[in-house]
Structure 1
Amino acid sequence: MTFAAWLSLLAICLLGALSPGPSLAVVIRNTVNRGRGAGITTALSHGMGVGGYALATSLGLATVIAAQQALFNAITLAGSAYLLWLGASAMRGGRAAGSDGRPVPPGPGPDAGRQPAGGIAAARDGFTIAFLNPKIALFFLALFSQFVSADAGVVEVAILAGTATVVDAGWYALVAIGLTATGTTTWLRRHGVWIERITGAALVFLALSTAASTL
């Protein structure tokens, strides 16, 4: 792969990562509720999920997923169910926090996400959101067809998958760091009830719309 081709790949991966969606909502929610560490953990695990699809595409496995409509639909519906569960949990959490009508107390500090339970949950959320989204496989299938040759070696495949992983994880990690470094999380926590409700409603809407389009 030439350097010019890699720059094109880098730009396309970056544009894909910058596209708003459920992944961004989950990273923001975990950063606000659990701290910077949890946000970064979510970002890194999401990048690993995306990298897995990038690697599968490079090896030709994504073609199988795309060709098997039943498998594609099953993964999509599983992802919708997970989004629905996250959204419903967020909306319930928002109602519970604001049920007494008093302001929501400030959340944990930037490093609160280092707690084991929070870290495990954050890693689960990030990876699952990516893994249960077969549209990522289709994205890389269309993208990598421009870069992967029939005789691609291990190094070229590693560069393709590694670029996708680093770009995705790096972008969402910057989101988590930016939110905590600028003090935005303090404002978000003051309005935690409504943030939870809005985030939850958005996730539920995405889940239902994805399921409806699949069915």
Structure 2
Amino acid sequence: MSLELYLVYLATIVVLLAAPGPMTLMTLSTSVRYGHGKALFTVIGSNLAGLIVMALSATGVGALLSSQPVLFEMLKVAGAAYLIWLGVSAWRAKTNDCSCNSFAEQECEPLKLFLKTVMIGISNPKGLIFFAALFPQFLHADQPLLPQLTVLCLTFTAVDFIILNLVAMGGCRLANSLAHPTSQRRFNRACAVVFLALGGSVALA
């Protein structure tokens, strides 16, 4: 892969990952409620989910889904239902003191945050088809594919890690202005509306 082509790929994924989406919202809401340290588990979960989806796409699962519309629709509905469930959960979430000084006192299981984020990442079959369509644009057929795919996947993961970390740090700063239960309730419900909208858009797309 030439340097010019790599830079085009890098710019493409920076724009893609900087756009608000389920992973961004999950990281932001976790950081606001539990702090930057706990939000790192959502960041790592996003990284793992991305690697899983990219690996499946590289092995041809994305192409398989595009040729099996019934299976694709089933997976899409399941992914949409999961996002809607997250929206309902966010709407019903309890309020608490979410100032940065109280993060250590908040009860939250890191493993649950990690697994929830992985589920968000792998529940949308569009990701499989997206990578199956994206990667060939940056691969040279006359060069070994594995090293090229490794570079593409690791670059995506690194950019994802950096951007979501910035989101998590911003969430911690935002938390100080959401310490009052009323403010936190509004934030939770705003997140709920976004999750519900994302779920609806996935289901109807």
Shorter chain as denominator, the TM-score bin is 0.7 to 0.9
- Residues 173, 114 of structure 1: CA spacing in aligned structure 2 closer, same or farther, 3 A cutoff? farther
Q: Tell me whether 106-115 or 137-146 shows the greater mean CA deviation.
A: 106-115
Q: Distance in 2 between matches of 1:203 and 1:39?
A: 18
State yes or no: 1:162 paired with 2:162.
Answer: no
Identity of aligned residues (%): 26
Q: Distance in 2 between matches of 1:88 and 1:146?
A: 39
Q: Which amino acid aligns with 1:141?
A: A
Per-residue deviation, 1:16 = 0.9
Q: Is the 8 A contact 2:32 2:98 kept in 1?
A: no
Structure 2 match to 1:70: 70
Structure 2 match to 1:188: 178
Matches within 5 A, 1:16-165: 16-93=16-93, 96-97=94-95, 104-107=96-99, 109=101, 112=104, 117-150=108-141, 152-165=144-157
Q: Distance in 1 between matches of 2:5 and 2:147?
A: 15
Question: Which runs of 5 or more residues in structure 1 are unaligned?
Answer: 98-103
Q: Distance in 2 between matches of 1:113 and 1:68?
A: 48
Q: Distance in 2 between matches of 1:107 and 1:165?
A: 30
- Residues 59, 195 of structure 1: CA spacing in aligned structure 2 closer, same or farther, 3 A cutoff? same
Q: Distance in 2 between matches of 1:189 and 1:202?
A: 21
- Residues 110, 128 of structure 1: CA spacing in aligned structure 2 closer, same or farther, 3 A cutoff? farther
Q: Distance in 2 between matches of 1:77 and 1:113?
A: 37
Q: Which amino acid aligns with 2:176?
A: T
State yes or no: 1:176 paired with 2:168.
Answer: yes
Question: Which runs of 5 or more residues in structure 2 are unaligned?
Answer: none
- TM-score of the pair, normalised by structure 1: 0.83
- Residues 106, 147 of structure 1: CA spacing in aligned structure 2 closer, same or farther, 3 A cutoff? closer
Q: Is the 8 A contact 1:76 1:134 kept in 2?
A: yes
Structure 1 match to 2:7: 7
CA RMSD, Structure 1 to Structure 2 (Å): 2.3
The count of corresponding residues between Structure 1 and Structure 2 is 202
Structure 1 match to 2:190: 198
Q: Which amino acid aligns with 2:84?
A: L
- Residues 47, 110 of structure 1: CA spacing in aligned structure 2 closer, same or farther, 3 A cutoff? farther
- Residues 39, 25 of structure 1: CA spacing in aligned structure 2 closer, same or farther, 3 A cutoff? same
Per-residue deviation, 1:11 = 0.9
SS at match of 1:146: helix
Q: Could you report, residue by residue, the CA deviation over 1:51-80 in whole angstroms, capped at 9, with x for unpaired residues?
A: 222222233332112222122212211111
- Residues 82, 210 of structure 1: CA spacing in aligned structure 2 closer, same or farther, 3 A cutoff? same
